[in-house]
């Protein structure tokens, strides 16, 4: 231990750490990023790409261009990776419909197999972040406390402290994160949809992403009970003030009216 901490201060230590970090990210990248050509020979894979291409030309090409190069109605999809497709189509954002301030979530119209095929096709256009595996995004064993801290530092300014969502400028909004599947949370961080920044593994390592997912699971009011009673949407003091006025003072004024009416009226009749 002593030795290590002494070496940590060595002038070359920073360089070593940097090289190590580079090697690790590089290795990870090689392992995770779909290597387009090498695997394309795999027959199952190429079949999926083939199918995905068909689906793509029917449902997506009108906006994203015949080969994903983009058009005036949609950005280029070259290099967005399978994670982006799985998120966008899996949460029902894509295919987009009418233009607006922000493309909303809708009913998912593709089944998972079709989404995988679409993702495989887009991934074949250029390297990009891949759909995470279950042990990457699973919250089991992750540290919800740490996740909470990370969430408040990186996400709460848009999504509120328990992920209830909030407003952004010009009609845009950060949606609620309640009930969003862990895989989609992971992918959102990885790809940064629309006005959300992306949090690639270089700035937010995999296990901290799982910590955040664990935190969001803990505070999801649809699964965990709020010790204080009705949570009023967990949106802070505005809804509390409304309740104080409408139910608190409203009820008390009703009672006051009732008491005041009791004597004077009773006397008269």
Partner 1 sequence: MSTTTEGSTRRGKKPVGQRAAEWTDPRLGLYKLAKSNLRKIFPDHWSFMLGEICLYSFIILILTGVYLTLFFHPSMNEVVYHGPYAPLQGVRMSEAYASTLHISFEVRGGLLIRQIHHWAALIFIAAMLVHMMRVFFTGGFRKPREINWLFGWTLLFLGMFTGFTGYSLPDDLLSGTGIRFADGAVLATPVVGSYLSFFLFGGEFPGHDIVARFYSIHILLLPGLMAGLLTAHLILVFYHKHTQFPGAGKTEKNVVGMPLLPIYAAKAGGFFFLVFGVIAAIAATVSINPIWTMGPYRPDQVSTGAQPDWYMGFSEGLIRVMPGWEINAWGHTLVLGVFIPLMIFPVVLAAIAVYPFIEAWVTGDKGEHHILDRPRNRPVRTGLGMAWLSLYFVLLIGGGNDLWATHFHLSLNWITWFVRIGFFVVPVLTFLVTKRICLGLQRRDRDKVLHGRETGIIKRLPHGEYIEVHEPLSQEQRHVLTAHVQPEPIDPGPEVDENGVERKINPVSKVRAKLSRGFYGENGQIAKPTVEEYEEITSGHGHH
* Interface residue list for partner 1 (CB under 8 A): 101, 143-149, 152-153, 156-162, 164-171, 173-174, 215, 218-219, 226-232, 234-245, 247-249, 251-253, 255-257, 259-264
Region near ligand HEC per CB under 6 A, out of 18-26, 32-40, 102-110, 228-236:
102-110
Taking CB under 6 A as the criterion, the residue among 32, 162, 174, 214 binding ligand HEC is: 174
Q: HSE-up of 70 (CA within 13 Å, CB side)?
A: 8
Question: What residue 125 binds from partner 1, ligand HEC, none (CB within 5 to 8 A, per partner kind)?
Answer: none
Report the first-to-last Cα separation within the chain, whole angstroms: 92
Q: Is 184 annotated for ligand binding? A: no
Q: Which C-beta is closer to partner 1: that of 125 or that of 185? A: 185
Question: What residue 227 binds from partner 1, ligand HEC, none (CB within 5 to 8 A, per partner kind)?
Answer: partner 1
Joined tokens for residue 32 = 């995770």
Q: Is 255 annotated for ligand binding? A: no
Q: Which C-beta is closer to ligand HEC: that of 43 or that of 169? A: 169
Q: Which residues contact 221 (CB under 8 A, 6 or more apart)?
A: 162, 178, 231, 234
Joined tokens for residue 161 = 């402290």
Joined tokens for residue 163 = 């992920």
Q: Which residues contact 13 (CB under 8 A, 6 or more apart)?
A: 7
Phi, psi dihedral angles at 74 (to 5 degrees): -165, 150
Cα→Cα distances 148→120, 153, 156, 177, 201, Å: 33, 9, 10, 14, 18
Q: Which C-beta is closer to partner 1: that of 129 or that of 148? A: 148
- Residue 100, Cβ neighbours under 10 Å: how many? 10
> How far, in Å, CA of 215 to CA of 260, rounded?
51
Q: Which C-beta is closer to partner 1: that of 72 or that of 153? A: 153
| Residue among 164, 86, 168 at smallest CA distance from 129 | 86
Taking CB under 6 A as the criterion, the residue among 77, 125, 130, 162 binding ligand HEC is: 77
Site string for ligand HEC, 108-127 (x = CB under 6 A): ----------x---------
Question: What residue 156 binds from ligand HEC, partner 1, none (CB within 5 to 8 A, per partner kind)?
Answer: partner 1
Binding site as annotated, residues: 60, 63-64, 155, 158-159
Interface positions with ligand HEC (CB under 6 A): 59-60, 62-64, 73-75, 77, 80, 84-85, 88-89, 91, 93-96, 102-103, 105, 118, 154-155, 157-159, 168, 172, 174-175, 177, 180, 184-185, 188-189, 191, 193-197, 199, 212
């Amino acid at each position: 231990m002593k030795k290590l901490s002494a070496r940590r201060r060595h002038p070359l230590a920073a360089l070593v750490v940097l090289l190590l970090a580079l090697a690790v990210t590089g290795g990870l990248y090689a392992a995770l990023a779909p290597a387009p050509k090498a695997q394309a020979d795999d027959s199952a894979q190429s079949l999926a790409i083939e199918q995905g291409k068909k689906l793509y030309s029917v449902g997506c090409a009108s906006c994203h261009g015949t080969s994903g190069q983009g058009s005036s109605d949609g950005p280029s999809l070259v290099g967005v990776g399978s994670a982006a497709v799985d998120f966008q189509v899996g949460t029902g954002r894509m295919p987009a419909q009418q233009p607006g301030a922000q493309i909303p979530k809708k009913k998912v119209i593709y089944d998972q197999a079709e989404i995988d095929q679409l993702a495989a096709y887009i991934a074949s256009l250029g390297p990009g972040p891949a759909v995470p595996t279950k042990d990457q995004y699973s919250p089991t064993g992750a540290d919800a406390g740490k996740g909470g801290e990370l969430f408040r530092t990186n996400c709460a300014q848009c999504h509120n402290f328990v992920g209830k969502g909030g407003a952004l400028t010009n009609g845009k909004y950060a949606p609620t994160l309640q009930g969003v599947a862990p895989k989609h949370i992971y992918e959102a961080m990885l790809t940064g949809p629309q006005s959300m920044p992306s949090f690639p593994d270089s700035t937010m390592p995999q296990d901290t992403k799982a910590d955040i997912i664990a935190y969001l699971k803990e505070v999801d009011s649809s699964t965990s009970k709020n010790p204080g009673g009705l949570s009023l949407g967990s949106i802070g003091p505005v809804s509390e003030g409304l309740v104080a006025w409408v139910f608190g003072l409203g009820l008390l004024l009703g009672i006051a009216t009732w008491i005041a009416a009791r004597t004077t009226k009773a006397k008269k009749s």
